[in-house]
Structure 1
Amino acid sequence: MSQEQNNRLGILLMVSACFVFAIQDGISRHLAAEYNVFMVVMIRYWFFAAFVMTVTARQEGSLRASARTAQPLLQVTRGLLLTAEILIMITAYVHLGLVESLAIFAGYPLIVAALSGPVLGEKVGWPRWAAIGIGFVGILVILKPGFGVFSPAAILALISTALFAIYSVLTRLAARKDKALTSFFWTGTVGAVVMTAIGVFHWEPMIAPDWGWMAALCVTGALGHYLLIRCYEVAEASAVQPFTYLHLAFGATLGVVVFGEALRNNVLVGTLIVVSAGIFTLLRERRKR
């Protein structure tokens, strides 16, 4: 296929991945409201690690080849950051809701852009800094600090957003020496080991219907990552990256329709500001490349 056709297929895969990840978020919100979040994330990581090891071993020839890295400390740190981010964000889903949590999370590309200079040595010009500043104004509009309606649970979403941004920057740093499959292997296995060490002490009996939801959570996690892998295999990252914001749209729709969350005006306006600033940053980065 031509690059244009590849990019079109990549966009379709990215849209599909965003939809699947939004479903995963909704299931996580349901289960974490009923059971200990450590147990939920632990079981999710068990399935994810099995999926990761299967995929990477098939591609690399063996698990040993998949795990081979020149920077193990960096890879472990990435795995720990993502594990903490997932735990905190799922907790935010329960206490803050999908709509506002994902609205805040939409600001992570702006944090990545801000960190790319000092961490990755990339040049960040004044237009990108302006977009970053405008994006953070949008986050303040979402939070409405100082007006008596700021939710302490929003701090969880902010922390999770910052952790994911740092994880993303470190992933780009790791890519300078390791293959993407190597980073994928460490992401899944480190999280599974850490969550097993913690989660087994928080085990709770689960009713039969919720085991079905747990199975769906595991399958959507693996399916979402598979779609994402295929997306980046066929398309240019810069062509599909702006479509990641559909995760916010799908997740917010789920929050409103299924969980009865409210879409407040300040959240809508702030989200539009954040997404606009983020898309400007992504498109400018694509043009520079």
Structure 2
Amino acid sequence: MTAIPTQRNDARLGILLMATTCAVFAFQDGLSRHLAEEANVWMVVMIRYWFFAAFVIVVGRARAGSVRAAAATSRPLLQIWRGLLLAAEICVTVWGFTRLGIAQSHAILAAGPLIVTALSGPFLGEAVGWRRWAAIGVGFLGILVILRPGVAVFDADALVPLAGAAMFAVYSLQTRLVARTDSAATSFFWTGVAGAGLMTAVGVFHWEPMAPGDWAIMAVLCLTGVTGHGLLIKCYEVAEASVVQPFAYLQLVFSSAVGILAFGEVLHPTTVVGGTIVVAAGLFTLWRERVRHRKAP
């Protein structure tokens, strides 16, 4: 099998692919919310994972030469745990969409990179300087602005996307940890397969009939999932992660538009202000991470 050389210097194409990926995932969020409200979260995520697992198996076999080679790992328990955690996080996040709405959920989910930075010390032994700690503090002030404690009756549903952000942060840190010994292709393979196993074990007990139109939407949801992940893989092949990662925050914009236009959600001014603070703090931590890597020998 002839290796296909990868290009990692086309910043414009990388940014375009990241923006397109965010738009696809935002569309997927809208489909997920609709189906979760019509059926249930467990069943919807289970079927999504069946297609996702098939996708990672095909990609893994194409890149590694065989499924066995794609699955080869020196840390199988950690890889399985990562996959289980991501599947659980997706369930929590989609449930949050049905409880709080897509727009406000994503404003809170934007805190994910800040949680990653805060936990990178205890999890990975990485040093976090005072500038990034200050950005983390500012970011969580933004979360408080969104939640408005003391101004209105506290909405416990807001804890659902916050829990999702924390779960995804832990998943991201475990991905960085396992990357010390396993390839990205191996981690991608286990993410899909382990998650599909968990969701099948849970989702089959929540199976319920759906209308033909909803099955058509489910098919589109599965296709958008595969398309989004394919675009994301290509994005990181053509451009450096440090260049394109800040543009991942575009999903907050696109998802908010889906929530407003498709579901009639209304953004409270504090959600806009708080979300802006969180994104600004997250962008600052990404910039400091890039500076730190440039200075590293």
Q: Same fold (TM over 0.5)?
A: yes
| CA shift for structure 1 position 149 | 3.2
Q: Secondary structure at the match of 2:151?
A: coil
Corresponding residue of 1:57: 61
Measure the CA separation in 2 of the matches of 1:236 and 1:63: 28
Q: Secondary structure at the match of 1:258?
A: helix
Corresponding residue of 1:20: 24
Measure the CA separation in 1 of the matches of 2:217 and 2:102: 18
Measure the CA separation in 2 of the matches of 1:225 and 1:277: 26
Q: Which runs of 4+ in 1 moved over 4 A?
A: 1-4
Q: Secondary structure at the match of 2:210?
A: coil
- The answer to whether residue 44 in structure 2 is matched with residue 40 in structure 1 is yes
Corresponding residue of 1:242: 246
- The answer to whether residue 183 in structure 2 is matched with residue 183 in structure 1 is no
| CA shift for structure 1 position 105 | 0.1
Measure the CA separation in 1 of the matches of 2:229 and 2:275: 25
Alignment of 1:1-289 (within 5 A): 4=9, 6-289=10-293
| CA shift for structure 1 position 150 | 2.2
Measure the CA separation in 1 of the matches of 2:201 and 2:273: 42
| CA shift for structure 1 position 66 | 0.7
Measure the CA separation in 1 of the matches of 2:194 and 2:155: 32
- What TM-score comes out, normalization by structure 1 length? 0.98
Measure the CA separation in 2 of the matches of 1:257 and 1:2: 37
Measure the CA separation in 1 of the matches of 2:187 and 2:113: 20
Gap change, CA 1:2 and 1:216, over 3 Å in 2: closer
| CA shift for structure 1 position 172 | 0.6
Measure the CA separation in 2 of the matches of 1:3 and 1:173: 23
Q: Deviations over 1:32-52 (max 9, x none)?
A: 011011111100000000011
Query: Which ranges in structure 1 are unaligned for 5 or more consecutive residues?
Result: none
Measure the CA separation in 2 of the matches of 1:92 and 1:150: 16
Q: Deviations over 1:143-202 (max 9, x none)?
A: 112223321111111111100000001101111100001000000000111111111111
Counterpart AA for 2:234: R
Measure the CA separation in 2 of the matches of 1:220 and 1:3: 25
| CA shift for structure 1 position 3 | 5.7
Q: Secondary structure at the match of 2:285?
A: helix
> Is the Cα contact below 8 Å between 2:60 and 2:67 reproduced in 1?
yes
Gap change, CA 1:184 and 1:3, over 3 Å in 2: closer
Q: Secondary structure at the match of 2:263?
A: coil
RMSD over aligned Cα atoms? 1.1
Counterpart AA for 2:19: V
Q: How many residues matched? A: 288
Q: Deviations over 1:14-46 (max 9, x none)?
A: 101000000000000000011011111100000
| CA shift for structure 1 position 137 | 0.3
- What TM-score comes out, normalization by structure 2 length? 0.95
Instruction: Indicate the larger mover: 141-150 or 189-198.
Output: 141-150
Query: Which ranges in structure 2 are unaligned for 5 or more consecutive residues?
Result: 1-5
Counterpart AA for 1:178: D
Counterpart AA for 1:175: A
Measure the CA separation in 2 of the matches of 1:2 and 1:255: 36
Q: Percent identity?
A: 61
Measure the CA separation in 1 of the matches of 2:133 and 2:198: 36
Measure the CA separation in 1 of the matches of 2:155 and 2:224: 30
Corresponding residue of 2:3: none
